[in-house]
């Protein structure tokens, strides 16, 4: 099997010939290709070059094409900082109050250069690899998290506690859903094999499970449904210990959940029950960036043995891999997966 076939099998619940590996390694790929993050986010050819060289160097199965977590926020008018060698980040929200939401005008995300760069990079990589390597088109942010960036995180968290503001909260979430949906439709047209999103501001480390259920789940479910309507599998990622909301994450209808390393893998194994594909979840910082090849091998074996009874498993880090990760640690992760026998 090639990489595309392995990951397709894992998503479909069929046994691959060996454990598939799909990495969240955009920062490391850029660093090893000698590309700064400023160059990376501006030039689709350099994004494609970075990922192509990483696949050739490490021989893994699937590329998660990520650029940063604020591209859609930038398209929506949020002020963004663009450091030379770090991912872009929000400076401040676009609105000071939910009272401004009715005045927000529709956004055409293709008018924003960062979106065009991202889409072109996916098209380039799909053209280069065809159906040899699996191409996962990440789509930046789900509506709840995008809303937090537009409103400003502190103000958003306060607003969520005020029942009188619920109509305006949903109005902003609808505004954000339109933006996310645009990106998914454009991403599907690139030829990507899979769509994925993050909704990390909706995780239990920031809001209660009841807030997730009321304000994030309905929109996350809509995004997953759209991906399926477009004929593509869908993966959802949320940072932190997602154990308290994993049932609701499954209820989104996502084909796969990219689980953060803070989540107990045995809880995830029990909850997913072989019906949803687990993606993850080696600690990207404490283990991959700062550990040793032997630590990586042992953690990977623990993960592989936990999910030994299901084909719905794709090995990855639990979140973005730091650019300073030693290459021998990444090789240990991949080689352990290749050598593992069920």
Nearest alpha-carbon partner for 183 in 111, 130, 241, 233: 111
Name the pLDDT band for 246 (thresholds 50, 70, 90).
very high
Q: Is 12 part of any domain?
A: no
Angle at 106 between CA 104 and CA 111, to 5 degrees: 120
Angle at 241 between CA 292 and CA 175, to 5 degrees: 120
Cis peptide before 81 (omega within 30 of 0): no
Nearest alpha-carbon partner for 43 in 121, 139, 96, 111: 121
Q: DSSP string of 214-269?
A: IIIHHHHHHHHHHHHHTT--EEEEE-S--GGGHHHHHHTT-SEEEE-TTS-HHHHH
Q: Is 9 part of any domain?
A: no
Share of residues in the chain with pLDDT > 70 (%): 100
Name the pLDDT band for 341 (thresholds 50, 70, 90).
confident
Question: Under DSSP, is residue 342 helix (H, G, I), strand (E, B) or coil?
Answer: coil
**CA pair distance 119, 31, nearest whole angstrom:** 21
The sign one gets for the Cα dihedral 224, 229, 232, 233 is positive
Rg (CA), the chain: 19
Specify the number of domains making up the chain.
1
Q: Give this prediction's pTM.
A: 0.96
Stretch 25-52: mean pLDDT: 98
Q: Is 39 part of any domain?
A: yes
CATH number at residue 150: 3.20.20.210
Q: Is 4 part of any domain?
A: no
pLDDT exceeds cutoff 90 at 181: yes
Q: Is 24 part of any domain?
A: yes
* 108-162 pLDDT tens trace: 999 999 999 999 999 999 999 999 999 999 998 999 999 999 999 999 999 999 9
Domain that holds residue 307: 19-339
């Amino acid at each position: 099997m090639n990489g595309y076939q392995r990951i397709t099998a894992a998503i479909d619940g069929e046994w691959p010939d060996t454990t598939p590996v799909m990495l969240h390694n955009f920062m490391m790929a850029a660093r090893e290709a000698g590309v700064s993050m400023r160059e990376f986010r501006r030039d689709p050819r350099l994004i494609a070059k970075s990922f192509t060289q990483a696949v050739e160097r490490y021989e893994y199965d699937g590329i998660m094409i990520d650029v940063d977590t604020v591209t859609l926020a930038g398209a929506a008018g949020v002020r963004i900082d663009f450091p030379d060698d770090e991912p872009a980040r929000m400076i401040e929200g676009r609105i000071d109050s939910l009272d401004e939401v009715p005045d927000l005008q529709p956004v055409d995300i293709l008018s924003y250069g960062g979106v065009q760069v991202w889409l072109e990079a996916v098209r380039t990589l799909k053209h280069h690899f065809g159906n040899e390597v699996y191409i996962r088109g990440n789509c930046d942010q789900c509506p709840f998290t995008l809303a937090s960036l537009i409103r400003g995180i502190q103000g958003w968290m306060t607003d969520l506690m005020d029942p009188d503001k619920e109509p305006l909260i949903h109005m902003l979430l609808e505004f954000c859903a339109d933006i996310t949906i645009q990106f998914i439709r454009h991403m599907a047209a690139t030829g990507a094999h899979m769509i994925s999103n993050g909704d990390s501001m909706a995780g239990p480390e920031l809001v209660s499970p009841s807030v997730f259920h009321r304000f994030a789940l309905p929109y996350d479910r809509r995004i997953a449904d759209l991906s399926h309507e477009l004929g593509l599998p869908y993966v959802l990622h949320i940072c932190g210990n997602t154990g308290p909301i994993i049932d609701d994450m499954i209820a989104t209808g996502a084909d796969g959940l990219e689980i953060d390393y803070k989540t107990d893998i045995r809880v995830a194994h029990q909850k997913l029950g072989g019906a949803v594909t687990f993606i993850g979840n080696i600690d990207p910082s404490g283990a991959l960036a700062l550990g040793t090849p032997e630590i990586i091998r042992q953690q990977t074996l623990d993960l592989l043995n936990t999910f030994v009874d299901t084909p719905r498993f794709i090995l990855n880090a639990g979140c973005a891999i730091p650019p300073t990760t030693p290459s021998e640690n990444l090789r240990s992760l991949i080689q352990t997966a290749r050598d593992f026998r069920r």
